[in-house]
Structure 1
Amino acid sequence: MKVLYFAWLRERLNRSSDEVAPPPDVVTLADLVAWLRARDEALDLAMDDPTIFKLSRDARIVPWDTPLAGARTVAILPPMTGG
């Protein structure tokens, strides 16, 4: 599955995506984020307040407790400012 990073999160990580294969015990998007943060110190630091982020599963904004099964892409979206 592909994990996409947007806006300032992408800039802090210096990459726009990762290809991952989470273990079977990762069943929700919240589990996926926790697993990703545990594996990546830069992501963990950038997401020190995960409540500010939105998550997208296959191009649809969804709650953090959404099941991961069958997802092709997950996007982590930091808060944006507009002008």
Structure 2
Amino acid sequence: MIHVRYFASLRERIGHDEEHIELPAGVDTLGALVTHLSARGAPWREALAATPRLMMARNQTLARAETEISDGDEIGLFPPVTGG
């Protein structure tokens, strides 16, 4: 099981800030996880589609779509952050 945390506009669109997910067979990278989440239905699909430059973190370290994930990981999904 992994712990997925949603931040900023993703949290607002999906309707909650975190969830625990049992990893299905074949979902072993962040990219595969995003594809899996998008297939769960409108809130996830629409929120992720509205964030084309999705930022991801695995265990509080920035990561890429090809980063491997496994049980016990904490995954953060968030839009790009800017400052000024």
Q: What residue in structure 2 maps to residue 10 of structure 1?
A: 11
Counterparts of 1:49 and 1:8, CA distance in 2: 9
Q: Secondary structure at the match of 1:67?
A: coil
- Identity percentage of aligned residues: 30
Deviations 1:36-73 (A, max 9, x none): 11013211011115541111000000111001125521
Q: What residue in structure 1 maps to residue 42 of structure 2?
A: 41
Runs of 4+ in 1 over 3 A off after TM superposition: none
Q: What residue in structure 1 maps to residue 66 of structure 2?
A: 65
Deviation at 1:34, TM superposition (A): 0.4
Is contact 1:27–1:68 with CA below 8 Å preserved after alignment? yes
Structure 2: give runs of 5+ residues left out of the alignment: none
Counterparts of 1:35 and 1:15, CA distance in 2: 17
Is contact 2:4–2:19 with CA below 8 Å preserved after alignment? yes
- Give the number of aligned pairs: 83
Structure 1: give runs of 5+ residues left out of the alignment: none
Deviating more after overlay: 53-62 vs 71-80: 71-80
Deviations 1:6-61 (A, max 9, x none): 01111112200111001121111100110011013211011115541111000000
Note the aligned Cα RMSD (angstroms): 1.6
| Structure 2 letter corresponding to 1:64 | A
Q: TM-score, normalised by structure 2?
A: 0.86
| Structure 1 letter corresponding to 2:23 | P
Is contact 1:57–1:71 with CA below 8 Å preserved after alignment? no
